[in-house]
Amino acid sequence: MRNETEQEQVFEVGNRLRVQINAGVADVLMVRGEKMNALDQAMFDALIETGERLCEHPGLRAVVFSGEGKAFCAGLDMGRFQGMAASEGQSHELRLMPRVYGNANAPQHAVLVWRKIPVPVIAAVHGVALGGGFQLMLGADMRLIEPQTKLSVMEIKWGLVPDMGGVALMRRLMRSDQIRELTYSGRVFSGQEALQLGLATKLSDEPRSEALAMAHEMALRSPDAMRAAKRLYALADDRASEAELLLAESREQAGLLGSANQVESVRANLEKRNPVWR
């Protein structure tokens, strides 16, 4: 009988995302290619629903997140900007201020939920990643970016600031002066520059294919150790103290040593075979 990790699952969420799970790897694809995967309400809802479902998937090993067509994500749908043009004097506090998801509102959670997923998440970025699309890729653990990709912290162009978790996430990757320059200027920059700035994990001419290969390689590692490692780095990202991190390392290691999957890791390496996880 095949276990859950081996079974292939395919489902769509809100006609905005298609998810294929194979051998524990979730291939998450935004499928609004005709609109360059722009963010409308249906896309926000689908991102949150998909992220929450993956958080609870017991056989999940890794996630690859990408967009179909010519772009990763072009940012907010133009319909939203047209609505803003007619909204002078209206208050948006009731929509933006409630903390519906812990510390976050709904648009912020559409990005941060990918950080919540307990396994590695890789964003495969091509074409454009602008504004909200740029912030969306920051929710991943790693970003494989095509060198010619056009990126921008573009909110200033529309009289806005990054508000989908971008400020909180950029500070983990870049210097403050670099963040400010990109935000204040709103300029477009390349995937090549993104690597220099620390935004790209690596450049790739085929980011989705390479990300899937990476994810399947990660899926061969102990699922217990992988989840423990992500918990540790999440704690580090949250600016935990040295004492807290050292204690967390020891706690995670104590839980892993001698466990069934840790012993299987050792045996599989010594016997030069693929491990069989419990």
CATH code of 264's domain: 1.10.12
In terms of domains, do 233 and 143 share one?
no
- Residues 110 and 246 occupy one common structural domain: no
Domain of residue 42, CATH code: 3.90.226.10
pLDDT in tens, 234-250: 999 999 999 999 999 99
Per DSSP, the residues of 192-229 read HHHHHHT--SEE-SSHHHHHHHHHHHHTTS-HHHHHHH
Residues 145 and 250 in one domain: no
Sequence-ordered alpha helix ranges (H) in 68-171:
78-85, 93-96, 106-116, 132-137, 166-170
Centre a 10 Å sphere on the Cβ of residue 148 and count the other Cβ atoms it contains. 12
Please tell me whether residues 115 and 240 are part of one structural domain: no
Domain check: are 95 and 113 in the same one? Answer: yes
Does residue 260 sit in the same domain as residue 205?
Answer: no
Best CA proximity match to 38, nearest among 132, 161, 118, 124: 132
| pLDDT per position as a tens digit, 121-173 | 999 999 999 999 999 999 999 999 999 999 999 999 999 999 999 999 999 99
Spatial separation of the C-alpha atoms in residues 274 and 196, rounded to whole Å: 37
- Asked if residue 142 lies in contact with residue 114, where contact means CB atoms within 8 angstroms, the answer is no
* Contact of 226 with 265, CB cutoff 8 Å: no
Backbone angles phi, psi at 90, to 5 degrees: -85, 145
Note down the domain range covering 249.
Answer: 223-270
The domain total for the chain is 2
Same domain membership, residue 212 and residue 81? yes
- Is residue 163 one of the residues assigned to a domain? yes
pLDDT, mean of residues 73-98: 73
Sequence-separated (6 or more) residues with CB below 8 Å from residue 53: 13
Does residue 90 have a pLDDT over 70? no
Q: Is the pLDDT of residue 50 over 80?
A: yes
Please indicate, yes or no, whether residues 188 and 260 belong to a single structural domain of this protein: no
pLDDT at residue 89 greater than cutoff 80: no
Q: Looking at the domain assignment, is residue 251 inside a domain?
A: yes
What is the distance of C-alpha 149 from the center of its chain? 17
Q: Which amino acid is at 217?
A: E
